[in-house]
Amino acid sequence: MTNTSITGAEAIIGSLADCGVAACFANPGTSEMHLVTALDREPRIRSVLCLFEGVATGAADGYARMAGVPALTLLHLGPGYLNGGANIHNARRAFVPMVNLIGDHAVTHRQYDAPLASDIAGLAGPNSRWLKSVDTVTDAAKLAVEAFEASYGPPPGPVSLIMPADVAWTSGASRAEGGKRAGLKIASDDVIEEAGRAITKAKRPAILVNGTALHAGGAELLRRIEAQGVKVVTDTFMARHVRGGGLYDAARLPYFAEMAVETFAGSDLLLIAGSKPPVAFFAYPNTPGAFTPPGARTLNLGGPDTDSADAIARLADWLDAPVAPRVVNWTRPEPATGDKFNPHTIGMSLAALLPEGALISDDGVTSGLPIYQALSAGARHEWLGHTGGAIGQGMPVAVGAAVARPDVKTVCLAGDGAGMYTIQSLWTMARENLDVVVIVFVNHAYRILKIELARTGAGNPGPAADSMLSLGNPEIDWVKLSESLGVGAEKVSSCAQFNDALGRAVATRGPRLIACMIP
């Protein structure tokens, strides 16, 4: 377009809409008011208010995982970006496209070092695969399109576009064309042949998988590889994994380092597809930090920037692996009954009652693994894992996933400690009437840290240490908290109560919270 009567804000928002951006998760401030009104005039972009920037950035992550298109976040200067930083970190580790539009003081106002002034580029740079500032109105649309395109990488990731207030309100801009979406890299034929020959010579080959090989259709490919004698293991955390309904379900690399070392023990060949060589989350005394077996050969079919599904399909063809059946015989299991009420029995009931095609956003920390294991027997679903390790991801990712996929039920699994990081998500779920069931595991503790305290050899906790790991003084009333934010809630402490609450929640559209009181 050549119309030069629009403002810089209108040029940016309009150009992003032209590229295909259809959602904006926002927590704006004074510097972003002209961007807000530009969004008001752009019906192709759904604007979603979030009460905390960490909800906005996590929602953009969840949206991109399911839509395959970046969402826009609207953040207020450097502090606003920092508030959203943890979930931008998680999104970077999820390798999803995201465009962070960060408001700034007017160019002419920067000289005064106002209270909210900061080095936004310095703050945003480490988690941005591309970063620029729109310092002239004629560059607004061009940089918006450039940001959109850069978010696809490969690998995809968060980008940051800084927008000074005076550029936003100044007329003289025009929209820009573009919006190319780069695809992932394709492994070379030589790499595939090398991997195939290595497998035929290895005694105990293994492959670590992430990325597109865990999307729809990937399970059949992985079954073909396993049938050739290759041990198939997925990463501990994955952005998106299609599971259940009788699909082949590969082993998952354990979180705890000691168990992860055992997973690959004895392997003489380790292939990597859509990931990187496995390492521990943290260092521990007398425990290896890397999990590749000593003496094993490592072959990389491509990291997160590579289409792992394509690589594995071609590898299976090179090996002449027979085409595997799409599913094995599967029937929905029965929900848990009896006196035991814990993540294992909750997982059994979820496997029984989960609707077909549901999305599971995991921030369950210690409770998430039993649920993951149990749901392999459940209906077809997509598991949205905790990619970057910064807790507080689950509820925001559920918000974004539900906006992207309103046709299916979204379930969020949240530890009570993790849930409190981004509790404001509930308000957005209520405001937007999102079809999300939030299941909170209430054990009144940072239980994972109590486990880690022992594993790191830090000694027995005294009163001060125990207090820092406890959430029980005062206890959080999740029902009152949820209802105050507009989401109906109930507390359950038995299998029967949970089954009843979950059955009603999945049968009713709209947000609902179930607080599971874990002994």
| pLDDT tens digits, 81-139 | 999 999 999 999 999 999 999 999 999 998 999 998 999 999 999 999 999 999 999 99
Average pLDDT over residues 40-44: 96
What backbone torsions phi and psi does residue 269 show, to the nearest 5 degrees? -145, 130
What backbone torsions phi and psi does residue 220 show, to the nearest 5 degrees? -65, -35
Give percent of the chain with pLDDT exceeding 70.
95
pLDDT for residue 455: 65
pLDDT for residue 353: 98
Average pLDDT over residues 157-179: 95
Q: What dotted CATH number matches 6-173? A: 3.40.50.970
pLDDT for residue 519: 86
Is the pLDDT reported for residue 2 higher than 50?
no
Average pLDDT over residues 173-178: 91
3-state helix/strand/coil string of 76-142 = EHHHHHHHCHHHHHHHHHHCCCEEEEEEECCHHHHHHCCCCCCCHHHHHHHHCCCEEECCCHHHHHH
Q: pTM of the prediction?
A: 0.95
Q: Per CATH, is 343-517 categorized as 3.40.50.970?
A: yes
pLDDT for residue 36: 97
Among 365, 392, 333, smallest CA distance to 518 is for 365
Q: Mean pLDDT check: name the lowest of 117-131, 263-277, 285-299.
A: 285-299
| pLDDT tens digits, 10-22 | 999 999 999 999 9
Residue 223: pLDDT band by 50, 70, 90 thresholds?
very high
Average pLDDT over residues 345-373: 95
Is the pLDDT reported for residue 1 higher than 50?
no
pLDDT for residue 281: 85
pLDDT for residue 256: 85
We find that the CATH architecture of domain 189-318 is 3-Layer(aba) Sandwich (3.40)
The average confidence (pLDDT) of the chain is 94
Sequence spans of domains, the chain: 6-173, 189-318, 343-517
pLDDT for residue 460: 74
DSSP states of 389-422: S-SS-HHHHHHHHHHH-TTS-EEEEEEHHHHHHT
